[in-house]
Amino acid sequence: MRNRIVRIRVSDAELAALKSLAVARGLSLSDLLRRAALCIRMPARRFYQADAAILVKTLGELGRIGGNLNQLTRRANAGKLAGHDADLATTLAGIDALRTRVREIIA
């Protein structure tokens, strides 16, 4: 039985962030703080249909950007776009990593 009260002081910004995180995890503020303090695994963030739709749309846009960057990288590697091949390859790798992370979030 929980019969003790623990009080902590937080700023307005911290309180807003904690409440937002609690809602996203489907927990009360008390449950969130208790789990965090006791290292109890948090439930996965909940995604609402609108959020998932935005992420899917973002994933598509990143795919189009990646396609364009891939074409530029091929031109650079073929010697038709001198001096930018390393930058393009790095940017393309970053886009690919971002797409992978968005896929992980959606799954």
pTM for this prediction: 0.49
Q: Is the pLDDT of residue 45 over 80?
A: no
CA distances from 10 to 14, 15, 16, 21 (A): 6, 6, 10, 15
- Residues 72-94 have a mean pLDDT of 81
Q: Quick one: DSSP state of residue 1?
A: -
Q: Which two tokens stand for residue 24?
A: 């996203």
Spatial separation of the C-alpha atoms in residues 68 and 92, rounded to whole Å? 9
Q: Is the pLDDT of residue 23 over 90?
A: no
pLDDT at 11: 95
Place of tokens 């439930």: 43
Where does the pLDDT of residue 72 fall: very low under 50, low under 70, confident under 90, or very high at 90 and above?
confident
